[in-house]
């Protein structure tokens, strides 16, 4: 979704995953788009709930699987709304779906969370890099998740990992120029 150097964080419970989501939410700015990528049961909705809660939303956040977009009103840091988009059922976008997603993405005072964001790459490429972030989740066990943070939230992810070393089992930063890349990714055990 977003080029650059990711930060890899391994969490060992839904609670740790939610803690990371709440922390990242505090660095979100109006107009930002966060792609949540991962298989069924990987923790995308856990992160969405944590981010929504940190933005002051008290309603139960569910994955909007049977509708494309759910909007929540927010009054936090100049952010007026949180759009929760779920592209799970998207195989091919209709013009109506495309227009609806573009309208959401272009709403200037909102934050948009997009579950299954990897299904709409062409639309997301239209968003300036400074406004994009992705959180890719990989299941590593019944409760363990490897989360790759890329784009606009990598700086915040590094801060969280530094402040919570007992909860973070793995973090990778880019190598120094000219050094070999020895980072472990979520794809490597």
| pLDDT tens digits, 25-72 | 989 999 999 999 999 999 999 999 999 999 999 887 777 667 788 888
Distance (Å, whole) CA 27 – CA 85: 20
DSSP strand E in the chain: where? 7-11, 33-37, 69-76, 79-86, 110-115, 132-139, 145-151
C-alpha atoms less than 13 angstroms from C-alpha of 10 in its C-beta half-sphere: 18
**DSSP type of residue 61:** P
Mean of the pLDDT values across residues 7-23?
90
**Which residue do the tokens 């990987």 mark?**
42
Cβ contacts of residue 127 below 8 Å, gap of 6+? 33, 105
Band of the pLDDT at 5, cuts 50, 70, 90? confident
Burial track 127-142 (b if 16+ CB lie within 10 A, e otherwise):
beeebbbbbbbbbbee
**DSSP type of residue 176:** P
Q: Write down all domains in the chain, each with its CATH number in brackets.
A: 25-135 (3.40.50.300)
**Which residue do the tokens 């509708």 mark?**
67
Band of the pLDDT at 176, cuts 50, 70, 90? low
Report the relative pairing of strands 145-151 and 7-11 from DSSP bridges: antiparallel
**Two structure tokens written together for 8:** 């890899």
């Amino acid at each position: 979704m977003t080029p650059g150097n990711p930060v890899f964080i391994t969490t060992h419970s839904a609670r740790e995953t939610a803690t990371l989501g709440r922390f990242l939410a505090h660095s979100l700015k109006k107009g930002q788009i966060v792609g949540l990528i991962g298989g069924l049961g990987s923790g995308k909705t856990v992160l969405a709930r944590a981010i929504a809660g940190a933005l002051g939303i008290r309603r139960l956040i569910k994955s909007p699987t049977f509708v494309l977009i759910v909007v929540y009103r927010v009054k936090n840091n100049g952010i007026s709304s949180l759009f929760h988009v779920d592209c799970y059922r998207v195989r091919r976008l209709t013009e109506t779906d495309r227009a609806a997603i573009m309208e959401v993405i272009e709403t200037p005072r909102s934050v948009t969370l997009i579950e299954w964001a990897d299904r709409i790459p062409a639309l997301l490429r239209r968003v300036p890099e400074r406004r994009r972030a992705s959180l890719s989740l990989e299941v590593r066990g019944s409760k363990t998740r490897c989360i790759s943070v890329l784009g606009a939230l990598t700086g915040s992810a590094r801060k969280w990992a530094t402040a919570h070393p007992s909860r973070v089992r793995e973090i990778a930063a880019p190598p120094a120029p000219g050094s070999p890349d020895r980072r472990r990714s979520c794809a490597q055990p």
